[in-house]
Structure 1
C-alpha cells in the first residue's frame, strides 16, 4: 500500500478546526472567502462563446410561441438537463415544448440522423440539444436540411469538425473563454437559461422566473456526472444541497430519497452520486431514460413516488446484472494474473452475453479493482460492439482513442468522451486487434509508477481528532467530489474485534495508540481473504457518521487496510 500525504497548512484558515483547515488547504483553498459558495460568486455567462446567438434562437420559443424540441441524453446529466429545460421554458411562458431522448439500444448516443427523422414528426421550429450535440455533425446537418434551427448545449470535448449548428454553447469548444471548463451539461444549460432570462427581463417580459429553484437538478447532475468540482461547480452543488436540505426540492428527487431511505435534511454531496444517480441511470441502462425524466418533471407527489419506486426496482435489477458480470470479469482478471504474474497496462474485456446498459458501471468497478485503464465491450443488435472506457489520472481516454483511430484506421466506427471516461463503437471482426492496440497504447503512455495504486491521504489524526463533531463537519461542511476529494486519513490501529456482515463487508472495532479509545469501523466490500485480522494494521479511512434509530455516532469508513508485522 503506497500512501502519499497531501501538502497542506492550516494557517490561512485560522477560524476552522485545524484538521478541516488542513484538508481545505490541501485542495487549494487559500482564504475564508472561498468557503462562502454564494450564488453571487458564480462566473457570469457573458464569456460563454455563442451564448447570445443561442438566446437569439431560443427567444422566439417564449415570445412568439415557436415549438421547441429538447434532445437529451440517457444518463443523469442528460435527464436532469432535459427536465430543467422543460421546467424553465414552461415557467418562462412557452407553450410548445417537448423532449426526445434516444434509446440506448435503438438509436445510440446523441442527435443522429435517425433521431432527427423521429423529431421531424413533431415539426419543431427549434431543436435544443442538452448534454450532447458537439459531435453530431451528421445529425445537425439533417436537421438543418429540414429547415429546423439547432442550438447545441454540451460540455464534451470537441472534435476537429464542429457541427454546423445555429449556435453552440460549450465551454470546451475552441475559442470559448469561459473559465470553468468543468461544467456539466446541466450547468451549461443553466447558464443559457440565465442569459435567456436576462434578455426577457430587458424586453419587459412579465415572468420573472427564479432559476435557483432548480439548482437541485444542477447539483445532482454535477456530482453524478463526475466532473471536477472547481470553485464554480462547488457553488452550484452547495446551493443545490442547501435547497434540498431546506425542503425546496423537486418532488421527484424527494421521492427518490424516500425510496432510498434517506432524509433530505442530512443529504451530503456523495449521496447525489451514490444514492440518486444510480436510480435515475438505471432507467437509461436497462430500458428508457424517459422514466427518470418523467420522475424529475412530476409535480404530483403520488406520481413521483410511483415513478421513484419503479426506478428503485430497476436499480435493484441493474445491481443483480452487474454483480454477475463483475464475477465473470474478475475470473478473467484472475486468469491473466495467474498466467502472466501481473496485469497488462490496460484491460479490455468482452463477453457475448454482457448487458450493454451496464458496461459503464462494470468498467468503473474493474478499474477500481485492477487499477488499470479499462474498456468493457458488449454486443449491439446491429452487429457491432459497444464499449465503455474508464481511465486513470494522467491518461486522457478520449485522446488515447483518437490516437488509436489514427494509428489503426478502420477499427473504431465512432467514439467520444472525456479524459476519464469515453464510449466507442467498434467492428466485431476487429475485436482482437482493438484489444491489442488498446493495451499497447496504455503501455506506451503509462509508467510502472502510474500503475501503482496510490492513496492520497490528508495525514494522521491525533486521538483528540476522532470525534463525532469533526466527522459531521467534514461530511456536511463542503461539497466533495471529483478533483475536490473527500477527506481521507491514514493511521495504525490494533484490531480488537471483527466480523463479516452482509456476506461481503467487514465490521471492525479498532484501537489507536490510546488503547482506551475504541473506534467502530466498517470496510464495505473489504478483502475477506485477510480475515481473521490479528494484531496491528495500517488503514486508509475517512471519518463518517453512522445513523441508526435516531442516534449518531462516529464510525471509520475503511478504504483500504493492510496487516503489519
Structure 2
C-alpha cells in the first residue's frame, strides 16, 4: 500500500510528567493520574479562578491601543469592528461590540468580510465597501497580514487598531496600534489566546484605564465570558492554564443560565443541555453552527445571533444557522467522498504532502475536507477550490497539518523558493490558508510535496492515538464519569481522558445505518459495560475479543444517568 494510504493506528499510553501531590480525597486517583500526564500535579494548577488570569498590561502594544480607544470614546468617534468569518471572529466581533458599548462607545458598527467577495481579513475590497468611512477600525482575529487593507484604510484617513493572534509575516501593516501575543519580542506568557481572547484582554485594559478598581460605575465584563469560551474552544487553540480559566468561567455562566440569548438558542438547537454543557459541546454542537454561516453564506447572520437580546429573534437566527449547517454537512460529505477517491488514485505517487483540487468544490468547505483527509491519511493536506463560481482563475486553499510539521512555515519555504507562486498565505502551525492561480496548481502541488518529503521523517507518518492507560476493574462508575466530565475544561493540548482496555464483545447491533451499540465484558472481573461507537459499521461484525480506546461518558436517557463507554478505536485483541 502506498504512502498516501492511511497508516494503521498505533495506541500509545501517555506517561506521567511528574508526581501528584496535595489532592483531596474527593479527587479520584484515576483523575490524578490523568492530570499528571498533562503536567498538572496539584489542585492549585486547576484553580481556574478569574483572579489568576495573566495581566492585560503584559500584552505588547496594549498601551497604544488603549490610548487610541480612550481618545475615540471621549471624542465620540465612529468605530467599526472588522471581524472574521469563523466562530472566533464572530464571537470576537460580538465581544467587541458588547464590550465597547459597556465602556462608553456610542457610534459602533461592524463589518465581516464575505469570503467570496472581499477575501480574508481587512482587505482593500472590504475597506472600499465601508460607506461612510468610520474614524477608527478595530480588527478582531485578523489584521496582522492586512498590509494592503490597512494602507487602504489609512489612505482614507481612517485610524486602525489591529487585534489578532495569527503569526506575523515578514511585513507588518502600518497600523496605529497592534495587539498580538505572537509578535516577535512580545513577552506575554500565553501565546495561545484566540482572537476573541485578545479582544477580551483589550477590553480589560481599556476598563482599567477608564474605570479604575473601586469605581462605582465600573462595568462588569464577565458577562462576555460565554462568548470568549465559545470562540476559544471553536478555534482549537491550545487550552493552556490561561485559556482554561477563560473557558471554565464561560462554561459556568452558560450552565447557570446566564449566557446571552444567542448562545442559549444555539445550545438548544444543538440539543445539548445548558445545565451540563462542557467544552466539547461548544466545539461539536455550537461552534459548527456559527462557522457554517461564514462557510456558505454571510457571517453577519452569526454575529446578529450573538448580539441580539431578544430570545425569539435568537431562536429564529439559531434555526436558520442550523439549516445552513445541515447544508454544510451534506456538502462536506460529498466533497470528502470525492477527496478520498482522489487520494486513492494518487497511490502511485507516494505523496507525503497531499494537495487536492476539484473545480466543483466549495471554497468555504475545503478546510473541513483537508481536516478529514489529514486524519485519515495522517499526512498534511491542502484542499483547493475556485475562489468563487464567477472566478475560476483563482484558487483558495485550506491546509491542515500533522504534529511536527509547521504548515505556515512550510508555506513560507515554498514562497521563498518559488517567488510569486503563492499570492497570499497565513495561519498557524497546524492550519493555514492560501491563494494561488489555478494554472499554478500543478507546480504548487509538486512544491508542497517536495517540502513535506524533505521536512517530515518516517516516524512522523505513523498515526498514534495516545491514551491514559486502562481503568482499574470496577472504576468505570457514574461517579468517575461525572468527575471526568467537569474536570477540564478539556480540549486542544489538554485532551479529554481516553482509556484503553481489552474486552469481550458479548453482543452488538447497528443503530441507524453506521453506528454500533455493544455490550462488552471486562475479562478481569466479568463486569459488563454498555458501549457505543459512531460511524463504525462497515458491513462486518466487531471482533469477539477486542482492544478498545474509549471515553467514560454519561448516558442520560429519560432523566436517568448511567455510565457508558464511547469507543474511539477498536482492534482485535
Shorter-chain TM range is: over 0.9
Residue 431 (structure 1) aligns with = 441
Matched, 1:195 2:205: yes
User: 1:339-378 alignment to 2 at 5 Å?
Assistant: 339=348, 344-378=351-385
Residue 60 (structure 1) aligns with = 71
Q: Return the offset for 1:61.
A: 3.0
CA distance in 1, matches of 2:358, 2:412: 24
Residue by residue over 1:492-537, the C-alpha shift from the partner in whole angstroms, topping out at 9 and shown as x without a partner, is 11111112222122221111114631111111122625x2124211
Where structure 1 has 5 or more consecutive residues not aligned to the other structure, the ranges are none
1:69 to 80, 91, 102: 80
Residue 291 (structure 1) aligns with = 301
Q: Return the offset for 1:203.
A: 11
Matched, 1:88 2:99: yes
Residue 246 (structure 2) aligns with = 236
Residue by residue over 1:267-291, the C-alpha shift from the partner in whole angstroms, topping out at 9 and shown as x without a partner, is 0111111011000001000010000
Decide whether aligned partners of structure 1 residues 86 and 462 sit closer, same or farther in structure 2, where only a CA change above 3 A counts.
same
User: 1:107-506 alignment to 2 at 5 Å?
Assistant: 107-119=118-130, 121-202=131-212, 207-337=217-347, 339=348, 344-381=351-388, 382=391, 383-506=393-516
- The answer to whether the 8 Å contact 1:127/1:151 transfers is yes
Q: Return the offset for 1:346.
A: 2.0
Residue by residue over 1:280-323, the C-alpha shift from the partner in whole angstroms, topping out at 9 and shown as x without a partner, is 00100001000000000000000000000000000011001001
Residue 90 (structure 2) aligns with = 79
CA distance in 1, matches of 2:275, 2:31: 22
Secondary structure of residue in 1 paired with 2:415? helix
Q: Return the offset for 1:142.
A: 1.3
Secondary structure of residue in 1 paired with 2:73? helix
Secondary structure of residue in 2 paired with 1:465? coil
Q: Return the offset for 1:93.
A: 2.4
Q: Return the offset for 1:430.
A: 1.0
CA distance in 2, matches of 1:558, 1:240: 29
1:541 to 543, 547, 550: 550
Residue by residue over 1:374-413, the C-alpha shift from the partner in whole angstroms, topping out at 9 and shown as x without a partner, is 1000011332010000000101010000001111222111
- The answer to whether the 8 Å contact 1:48/1:169 transfers is yes
Residue by residue over 1:395-438, the C-alpha shift from the partner in whole angstroms, topping out at 9 and shown as x without a partner, is 10100000011112221111000000000001111111111111
Q: Return the offset for 1:60.
A: 2.8
Residue by residue over 1:13-40, the C-alpha shift from the partner in whole angstroms, topping out at 9 and shown as x without a partner, is 5422111000011101122111110000
Aligned residue-pair number: 559
Residue 513 (structure 1) aligns with = 523
CA distance in 2, matches of 1:70, 1:21: 43
The runs of at least 4 consecutive aligned structure 1 residues that moved more than 6 Å come to 203-206
Where structure 2 has 5 or more consecutive residues not aligned to the other structure, the ranges are 1-8
1:48 to 39, 48, 59: 59
- The answer to whether the 8 Å contact 1:500/1:506 transfers is yes
Q: Return the offset for 1:449.
A: 1.2
Q: Alpha carbon RMSD of aligned pairs, Å?
A: 1.5
Q: Return the offset for 1:206.
A: 7.1
With normalisation by structure 2, the TM-score equals 0.95
Residue by residue over 1:165-210, the C-alpha shift from the partner in whole angstroms, topping out at 9 and shown as x without a partner, is 1000000012211110000000000010001001111499874211
Residue 5 (structure 2) aligns with = none
- The answer to whether the 8 Å contact 1:93/1:207 transfers is no
CA distance in 2, matches of 1:475, 1:205: 38
- The answer to whether the 8 Å contact 1:182/1:229 transfers is yes
Secondary structure of residue in 1 paired with 2:423? strand
- The answer to whether the 8 Å contact 1:506/1:528 transfers is no
CA distance in 2, matches of 1:499, 1:411: 52
Residue 3 (structure 1) aligns with = 11
Residue by residue over 1:107-164, the C-alpha shift from the partner in whole angstroms, topping out at 9 and shown as x without a partner, is 1100111111112x12211100000000011111111121111000000001111111
CA distance in 1, matches of 2:214, 2:168: 36
Q: Return the offset for 1:468.
A: 1.2
- The answer to whether the 8 Å contact 1:10/1:22 transfers is no
Secondary structure of residue in 1 paired with 2:364? helix
CA distance in 2, matches of 1:350, 1:380: 12
